[in-house]
Chains A and B, each alone.
Chain A
Amino acid sequence: MSDLAIRKLPTLPSFAMVHRAWMLLAIILVLALPAHAAESVVPVSTLPWWFWPLALFVTCFFIGIVAVPAGIGGGVLFVPLIGGFFPFHLDFVRGAGLLVALASALSASPTLLRGGLSSLRLALPLALLASISSIGGAMLGLALPASTVQIALGIIVLGIVALMLSAKKSEFPDVAQPDRLSSALGIHGVFIDGATGRSINWQVHRTPLGLFLFLLIGVMAGMFGIGAGWANVPALNLLMGAPLKVSAGTSGLVLSLVDSTAAWVYLNRGAVLPMIAVPSVIGMMLGARIGARLLHVLKGSVIRKMVIALLLFAGIRALLKGTGIWI
Chain B
Amino acid sequence: MSSSESTHASDAARYALLLGWGTRIGLLTLVLSFTAYVFGLVTPHVPMELLPSVWNQPVASYLQLTATPTGWGWFSMLQFSDMNNLVGIALLASCSIPPLLAVIPLFFKRRNFFYVGICLLQVGVLLLAASGVLSVGH
Contacts and interface: CB of A to CB of B under 8 A. Distances in A.
Interface in B12-45: 12-13, 15-17, 19-20, 22-23, 26-27, 30-31, 33-34, 37-38
A274 B96 CA distance: 21
Contacts of B125: 128, 131-132, 135, 261
B96 A256 contact: yes
Contacts of A47: 52
Interface residues of A, number: 71
B37 A120 contact: no
Given A124-B119, A268-B70, A42 B56 contact: yes
A278 B89 CA distance: 9
Contact of A87 (B12, B17, B56): B56
Nearest to B63: A270
Given A87-B52, A107-B23, A143-B138, A131 B93 contact: no
Contact of B89 (A53, A120, A277): A277
Given A261-B129, A275-B55, A114 B92 contact: no
Given A268-B134, A268-B135, A278 B94 contact: no
B79 interface: no
A103 B28 CA distance: 12
A293 to B, nearest CB: 19
Interface string B88-110: 11101111100000010000000
Given A106-B92, A271-B59, A53 B112 contact: no
Interface stretch (A13-21, A22-30, A183-191, A304-312): A183-191
Contacts, number: 197
A41 B52 CA distance: 12
Contacts of B4: 186
A31 interface: no
Interface residues of B, number: 70
B85 A39 contact: no
B59 A260 contact: no
A180 interface: no
A52 interface: yes
Interface stretch (A71-79, A88-96, A157-165, A294-302): A88-96
A275 B56 contact: no
A7 interface: no
A186 B38 CA distance: 49
Nearest to A114: B16
A204 interface: no
Nearest to B95: A106
B28 to A, nearest CB: 12
A42 B61 CA distance: 12
Interface of B: 1-2, 4-5, 8-9, 11-13, 15-17, 19-20, 22-23, 26-27, 30-31, 33-34, 37-38, 48-49, 51-53, 55-59, 61-63, 68-72, 82, 85-86, 88-90, 92-96, 103, 112, 114-115, 118-119, 121-122, 125-126, 128-130, 132, 134-135, 138
18 contacts: A44-B53, A47-B52, A89-B55, A106-B26, A114-B13, A120-B8, A120-B11, A121-B115, A128-B118, A186-B112, A189-B5, A260-B94, A260-B95, A270-B68, A274-B86, A275-B55, A281-B27, A282-B31
Given A110-B16, A276-B55, 8 more contacts: A44-B56, A49-B49, A113-B16, A124-B115, A135-B134, A256-B19, A270-B70, A275-B82
